[in-house]
Amino acid sequence: MLKSDQTSSLTFETKTQTAPTKSTATNATDTVESFIQTMPDVVCLSHLRWDFVYQRPQHLLSRFAKHSRLFFFEEPYFYDGAQPRLDVSLRDPNVHIVVAHLPHGLTPQESDAIQIELVNNFVKEQKLAGYVAWYYTPMALEVYGHLQPALTVYDCMDELSAFKGASPRLRELEAELFKKADLVFTGGHSIYESKRTQHPAVYAFPSSIDKAHFAQARTGLAEPADQKNIPHPRFGFYGVVDERFDIELLREVAALRPDWHWVIIGPVVKIDPATLPHADNIHYLGGKDYKELPAYLSSWDVATMPFAINESTKYISPTKTPEYLAGGKPVVSTPIRDVIRPYGDQHLVHIASTAPEFVTALEQALVQRDDPEWLAQTDAFLANISWDHTWQNMVSLMQIAITQKSTK
């Protein structure tokens, strides 16, 4: 059985540790290429909306859509007087966003029953057969668990049971999903370690990057209008501002150094915006399109990850870590396990816990901006990391799994 190692670039190792012969490797590559050319449709069941924040699901699933149809099922919308229906909209070629529109006032059981009927009709209309079911949330089993895909993949990118407002049924349903899944992928090594004993085929696929996209930040892009008048030094963060964001740390650091300016980019969700710290040196610019991020990153002096240390961040593997580094920016983070290992251990990212420690780390990072040795080490580390590489390794495992199922 193939397993992922604990290094920065994902590799596979066999049980016997025997290197494949040239002909074996060629045959394996040909088999995977053949699988890609005849890629089955992918039906994704997600708790995240496609248009919310461009992250892991979009990076991976958009690659499937280059070869087959992708149906991305979101959680329903509820409206007064709505007639139950599935709304289908196209984003990119082959990317179909599917969301149920339902009336207010339904019980959970009624909502599930209506969605099941809508989904069954949709599967027939689209002639979906031999497809891949790709789960991001175990909660989707309540509506989609009866489906019979050719392959079931659970891409476990977060420990959802630790998030604010998580359903008490989440752990129970995840146990069911482990029974149904043919493959389990995890979004980082920490969550891999917590899940690997719960399924026979769990593989770690940590956060990856689109290097070319974020490397644009090294080219001196034009300043966005809402950032260009913010004084330097600038310390930036982009991402979702929720219970994982350390509000008090930002408040304390901003107060300790009022001459430093903070740029916070991203939507505020699941927390009261009124609880956010406000000061002359803290600038909330709201959500931005993925395409815009390099322009903002380009003129930051240091990129930051002020995550709270709590249950919701215990297993996260922030995608922004390699993205910031690909943009050539020094990074300061709180002690997130999947940031400490490997980025902190290899001295690519500064780690700090308290506000005074964060200030000290930011001072060191400001000096590091002009360190060519650090930048060379960073680029060497990132050399073999890409979403293309991650996706291709996932596809290799999918091809093996679906072949094994077909020969049983």
| Whole-angstrom distance, CA of residue 216 vs CA of residue 221 | 7
DSSP label at residue 10:
-
pLDDT-wise least confident of 23-32, 46-55, 131-140, 310-319: 23-32
Which CATH fold would you assign to the domain 211-382? Answer: Rossmann fold (3.40.50)
Give mean pLDDT, residues 73-93: 95
Report the half-sphere exposure of 382 (CA within 13 A, side-chain side).
26
**What is the percent of the chain with per-residue pLDDT over 70, rounded to a whole number?**
93
Cα first-last separation, the chain: 17
Average pLDDT, the chain: 92
3-state secondary structure of 71: strand
Which among 270, 219, 283 has a CA at the least distance from the CA of 240? 270
For 217-233, how does the pLDDT look when each residue is reduced to its tens digit (9 = 90+)? 999 899 999 999 999 99
20 vs 255 pLDDT, higher one? 255
Q: What is the pTM of this model?
A: 0.90
Give pLDDT, residue 26: 53
In sequence order, what are the residues at sequence separation of 6 or more whose Cβ sits closer than 8 angstroms to the Cβ of residue 94?
65, 66, 68, 69, 70
Pairing state between β 183-186 and 151-156: parallel
**Is residue 30 within 8 Å of residue 399, measured between CB atoms?**
no
Torsion angle of alpha carbons 352, 160, 166, 311, nearest 10°?
-30
Query: Cα 84 vs. chain centroid, distance in angstroms?
Result: 31
Q: Reduced to 3 DSSP states, what percent helix, strand and coil does the chain have, rounded to the nearest 5?
A: 40, 20, 40
In sequence order, what are the residues at sequence separation of 6 or more whose Cβ sits closer than 8 angstroms to the Cβ of residue 306?
237, 245, 246, 249, 250, 253, 333, 334, 358
Give pLDDT, residue 406: 82
**Residue 329, amino acid:** K
Residue 156 phi/psi, 5-degree rounding, is -85, 90
Q: Domain 3-208+386-406, what architecture? A: 3-Layer(aba) Sandwich (3.40)
Which among 263, 337, 346, 345 has a CA at the least distance from the CA of 307? 337
**What is the percent of the chain with per-residue pLDDT over 90, rounded to a whole number?**
88
Residues of the chain within CATH 3.40.50.2000 domain(s) are 3-208+386-406, 211-382
- Quick check: 110 pLDDT over 60? yes
3-state secondary structure of 322: helix
| Whole-angstrom distance, CA of residue 265 vs CA of residue 217 | 16
3-state secondary structure of 202: strand
| Angle subtended at Cα 161 by Cα 288 and Cα 44, rounded to the nearest 5 degrees | 60
